[in-house]
Amino acid sequence: MQRILHSINALNEAKQVIPGGVNSPVRAFGSVGGTPRFIKEGRGAYIVDEDNNCYIDFVQSYGPLILGHSDSLVVQAVQDSVAKGLSYGAPTELETNLAKEIISVCEGVEKIRFVNSGTEATMSAIRLARAFSGKDDIIKFEGCYHGHSDSLLVKSGSGLATFGETSSKGVIQDIAKHTLVARYNDLDSVKECIRLSGNVGCIIIEPIAGNMGLVPSKKDFLQGLRELCDKENIVLIIDEVMSGFRVSLQGSYAFYGVKGDLSTYGKVIGGGMPLAAFGGRADIMDMLSPIGGVYQAGTLSGNPVAVSAGLATLALIKQDVGLYERLESLANRLAEGLMSAAKTYNIPLQTCVRGSMMGFFFTQEEVIDWNSAAKSDTEFYAKFHAKMLEKGVNFAPSQFETSFMCKPFNETIIDEVIEKARASFKELKA
């Protein structure tokens, strides 16, 4: 048995002063049970908890760490930046440099502004989209997550395409009623929302959804959405907070050839530091304060330390020709290995790979949207998660998250994980 006494005590202590003992709910292991591990360090493919247990880490901070934990050059860039100052509240050339880096590879991004979290990026992009379109209602998709701003904490009501209902206490219905919820990969449901509202100014989508497990949009769906937005004068926000610089250097564009009017970024662009951004067409972005009338600001926005981490991360990604192909091939190796192990024990499993993202669902049916994802056997996932953790493999503590490959992974590590999964399936089916 693994010793986790330190984590158990740390959680109890944290609970006295932090609600649930965590600063973001999924970390509490609510949907899988068991004790969240308190982590003391991360190195490459691995994290180490306070009891000195070591885990192969597929969470990678929920996506940012494409280079793995504590990449020495990123750490060096952060240290160099820290030595000069932590924050100035004034512009730096670093910000212009990072803006240029992103604009040079991200299709459709002509101007960009930095913020501190993906939540801020999507919230600000929506405000801007509403101002540009002059229309109040927005559409989001069931199962997509865009952070926790009020307009986006909605779920579908009854029926296929609906006005949203709040999915969190404290979000007032007066706000939720302006968000309509459509079904992912279903263009008809989007058309129905547009008809129902008559006042839709913005659609926001994860082009490769990673927050209901990994569920990529179908090509004709995303392209159809683009055409629909053009026809209806709707601002399309492509939320690449997770997929940006994760699935390819150009994010989802490399898979779909679809540009947003606005796009949002986070995670990888900060290399593990709190940094996110929204950008897009110059005519829309120039509506932002101080040029235009859409207010948006931040004390620590474009923080030099975070931007330095981002610059180093993007430079290292660019230098490593073949990185995305290598990570995708490792993700495929893992998916195939899990499939084969599951087959041996008659366990229904669906897998999916996009670039360095890998998802798996314990279900018989192909997963194309939230309805099909929700049919997964979450109890089995919880048991599998616990077994793997015991064996030193850290998958996310929810069936509806994605696994992330990182640069330090190799075939030996992936094969070790597959063998551990095989052993876990065997134990669970005994």
**Residue whose C-beta lies closest to ligand PLP:** 118
C-alpha pair distances (Å), 383 with each of 58, 79, 156, 402: 17, 41, 29, 17
List 55, 62, 145, 256, catalytic entry:
145
Q: Which of 142, 206, 369, 401 binds ligand PLP (CB under 6 A)?
A: 206
How far apart CA 233 and CA 218 sit, in angstroms, is 22
Smallest separation (angstroms) from ligand PLP to the CB of 318? 23
Answer yes or no: 145 catalytic: yes
117 part of the interface to ligand PLP, by CB under 6 A: yes
Residue closer to ligand PLP by CB (options 25, 33) is 25
Look up residue 317 and give its two tokens.
């990604």
Smallest separation (angstroms) from ligand PLP to the CB of 424? 26
Q: Which of 7, 119, 151, 248 binds ligand PLP (CB under 6 A)?
A: 119
118 part of the interface to ligand PLP, by CB under 6 A: yes
Gyration radius from the chain CA atoms: 21
* Locus of tokens 């696994």: 403
239 part of the interface to ligand PLP, by CB under 6 A: yes
Residue 293 and residue 304 in contact, taking contact as beta carbons nearer than 8 Å: no
Residue closer to ligand PLP by CB (options 373, 386) is 373
Smallest separation (angstroms) from ligand PLP to the CB of 62? 6
How far apart CA 249 and CA 59 sit, in angstroms, is 20
Site string for ligand PLP, 60-79 (x = CB under 6 A): --x-----------------
Pick from 222, 211, 254: which is nearest to 396 by CA? 211
How far apart CA 301 and CA 288 sit, in angstroms, is 15
Answer yes or no: 324 catalytic: no
Q: Which of 260, 266, 271, 355 binds ligand PLP (CB under 6 A)?
A: 266
Residue partners of 60: CB distance under 8 A and separation at least 6: 66, 68, 69, 404, 406
How far apart CA 358 and CA 339 sit, in angstroms, is 12
Smallest separation (angstroms) from ligand PLP to the CB of 217? 13
Pick from 140, 256, 264, 154: which is nearest to 208 by CA? 256
Choose the stretch contacting ligand PLP; rule: CB under 6 A; options: 140-148, 252-260, 312-320, 358-366: 140-148
Residue partners of 248: CB distance under 8 A and separation at least 6: 254, 255, 324, 355
Answer yes or no: 426 catalytic: no
Residue closer to ligand PLP by CB (options 146, 259) is 146
Smallest separation (angstroms) from ligand PLP to the CB of 291? 26
Residue partners of 185: CB distance under 8 A and separation at least 6: 215, 217, 218, 221, 368, 369
Smallest separation (angstroms) from ligand PLP to the CB of 79? 24
151 part of the interface to ligand PLP, by CB under 6 A: no
Residue 354 and residue 383 in contact, taking contact as beta carbons nearer than 8 Å: no
Contacts with ligand PLP by CB under 6 A: the residue count is 16
Residues that bind ligand PLP (CB under 6 A): 62, 117-119, 122, 145-147, 206, 210-211, 239, 241-242, 266, 276
Q: Which residues are catalytic?
A: 145, 239, 267
